[in-house]
Copies of this chain bind each other. A is one copy, B any other.
């Protein structure tokens, strides 16, 4: 492609609409443009990168034996009512009525459509398993679209679905997909982790993984163990008993079997009694810390929740956060929410900042880390007063001890119990979910087994945010002058820059190299514009090809400057050497 003819319009400044570095560079480089909030057009540069991603996804899906289909965006709303998702998706669904008043959903995913399709195509066990995928546009009416392609309202996804005879079959499909996903994201040059995750709205029954690209602007937090490789979504990460770095003592009143740490500490029975002290206007952990110089890890936080119509108190350490998902699972209800001020006062007789476990007449769910405290500071159940010397097990019961908090930086790894967890922000770029019979039951997707009995198909679903992946790669590879695209995703393999179009030797050599490289089948961009060198180099940075060849002053002696953009290495080479170097580079860097 000759740059003089290429539809490319770079911007000097980062547009104000850009809310992340990668997004800013995608806009500055002329990859994408916003048409409406969360809705983007792809210019040729952006479309090229997207097509390379699509190719990788297709290749890996075919390699994994997944067959390509294409399902409609317009789906009858009835289908979504049958599955129950019409309600659970709520306002996030884009819906419309046709001219006859029939209601449709613009698919954000295709579980219903694919289940209904496969159910009508496959009736015998002999035709299972079936694994299908598609790459296409999805719609989601995000409340707050942001970070450009990361959270949009119209976006590209690869979604895949598996239909198996049994749980064992699903395990095989799941592993096949997990491997394919690892290959895809590796080929895209991403720093990512497959983490244990919660199922969210799609639903599922265990065995769910999210693929998270590490990035400071990510909306997900994951916990990683550098020692054993354990990785989990913050929501899902377990906390090991006695896992907290700051834990002073391990109380074993709970079901825990881990022996207590820190045997040097005095035994609880020798501790001083409960002591009330005056703490006016310090109803939050932060205030207690700043006014009295306390440490958050010495404070017991008591939060009152409404769960399934009942009130419960959850106790976590001052430096920890309650994990509502875990509390909900423990109580067996998804319906859990922090009680508002009025409800707290009604239950405890005091404003929320001074609630404490001592004498509180509510079920107490005590996090392991609280149970392990030797003593702590807690609200006295009286306005402007706290207790110090509160002893778990002595001053409040330890009948319900469990894992009720989010993992924290420095926690002991719940798997290996050797390493310490670190928390990272990340972008969800893919998921693999075991759906089981959730959809096949609701939509009656059954097959006849070898005995002639009807059985429900066992399903899995597998997504990759294709446009989001583009954005994640951009975030990870954003640099000063542009995005350094990994080889397999770069819009061009090589960028040739003729420094001066007025110099005959330069234009002739550039043209010769251009023709040679194109004959070899490489994607080449030739900057043949009558622009100043500064403009050309700046644009080249934004285009981010992994190899740049500058045809400048030495063109007269048939020599060019070859640059590997990733390593930064530069060499002066002859024409044939340059062709060879480029050929080698491309061959070595494409799978």
Tell yes or no: A106 within 8 A of B by CB: yes
Tell yes or no: A113 within 8 A of B by CB: yes
Instruction: Check B96 against A68 for contact (C-beta < 8 Å).
Output: no
Instruction: Check B69 against A43 for contact (C-beta < 8 Å).
Output: yes
Within the assembled complex, what's the spacing in Å between the Cα atoms of A30 and B127? 14
A116 contacts which chain B residues (CB < 8 A)? 35
Instruction: Check B99 against A70 for contact (C-beta < 8 Å).
Output: no
Tell yes or no: A564 within 8 A of B by CB: no
Q: A7-51 vs B: 1/0 string, CB under 8 Å?
A: 101000000000000000000001001011001111110111011
The interface-forming segment of A132-140, A453-461, A503-511, A580-588 is: A132-140
Instruction: Check B70 against A132 for contact (C-beta < 8 Å).
Output: no
Residue of chain B at shortest CB distance from A48: B68
Instruction: Check A73 against B154 for contact (C-beta < 8 Å).
Output: yes
Instruction: Check A96 against B98 for contact (C-beta < 8 Å).
Output: no
Give A67-103 interface residues, CB cut-off 8 Å to B: 67-76, 91, 94-96, 98-99, 102
Chain copies in the assembled complex:
2
Interface size class of A (residues with CB under 8 A): 35 or more
Tell yes or no: A519 within 8 A of B by CB: no
Tell yes or no: A326 within 8 A of B by CB: no
Instruction: Check B33 against A51 for contact (C-beta < 8 Å).
Output: no
Name the distance in Å between A58's Cβ and chain B's nearest Cβ. 9
Within the assembled complex, what's the spacing in Å between the Cα atoms of A6 and B48? 31
Within the assembled complex, what's the spacing in Å between the Cα atoms of A70 and B91? 26
Tell yes or no: A120 within 8 A of B by CB: yes
Residue of chain B at shortest CB distance from A96: B96
Tell yes or no: A246 within 8 A of B by CB: no
Contact of A137 among B40, B47, B130, B136 (CB under 8 A): B136
Contact of A40 among B36, B68, B72, B141 (CB under 8 A): B72
Tell yes or no: A143 within 8 A of B by CB: yes
Instruction: Check B35 against A113 for contact (C-beta < 8 Å).
Output: yes
Instruction: Check A68 against B44 for contact (C-beta < 8 Å).
Output: yes
Within the assembled complex, what's the spacing in Å between the Cα atoms of A76 and B34? 12
Give A99-124 interface residues, CB cut-off 8 Å to B: 99, 102, 104, 106, 113, 116-118, 120-122
Tell yes or no: A5 within 8 A of B by CB: yes
Tell yes or no: A260 within 8 A of B by CB: no
Within the assembled complex, what's the spacing in Å between the Cα atoms of A113 and B134? 26
Tell yes or no: A308 within 8 A of B by CB: no
Within the assembled complex, what's the spacing in Å between the Cα atoms of A104 and B37? 12
Tell yes or no: A153 within 8 A of B by CB: yes
Within the assembled complex, what's the spacing in Å between the Cα atoms of A153 and B106? 13
Instruction: Check B75 against A47 for contact (C-beta < 8 Å).
Output: no
Within the assembled complex, what's the spacing in Å between the Cα atoms of A560 and B469? 48
Give A135-170 interface residues, CB cut-off 8 Å to B: 136-137, 139, 141, 143, 153-154
Name the distance in Å between A157's Cβ and chain B's nearest Cβ. 13
Beyond known contacts A9-B127, A99-B143: 7 more, CB 8 A cutoff? A7-B132, A35-B71, A35-B75, A36-B72, A39-B72, A42-B69, A98-B141
Can you identify 10 A-B contacts, CB atoms within 8 angstroms? A7-B127, A9-B121, A33-B120, A39-B72, A41-B117, A42-B69, A42-B70, A74-B94, A94-B96, A96-B106
Q: Give A residues with C-beta under 8 Å from B.
A: 5-7, 9, 30, 33, 35-36, 39-44, 46-48, 50-51, 65, 67-76, 91, 94-96, 98-99, 102, 104, 106, 113, 116-118, 120-122, 127, 130, 132, 134, 136-137, 139, 141, 143, 153-154
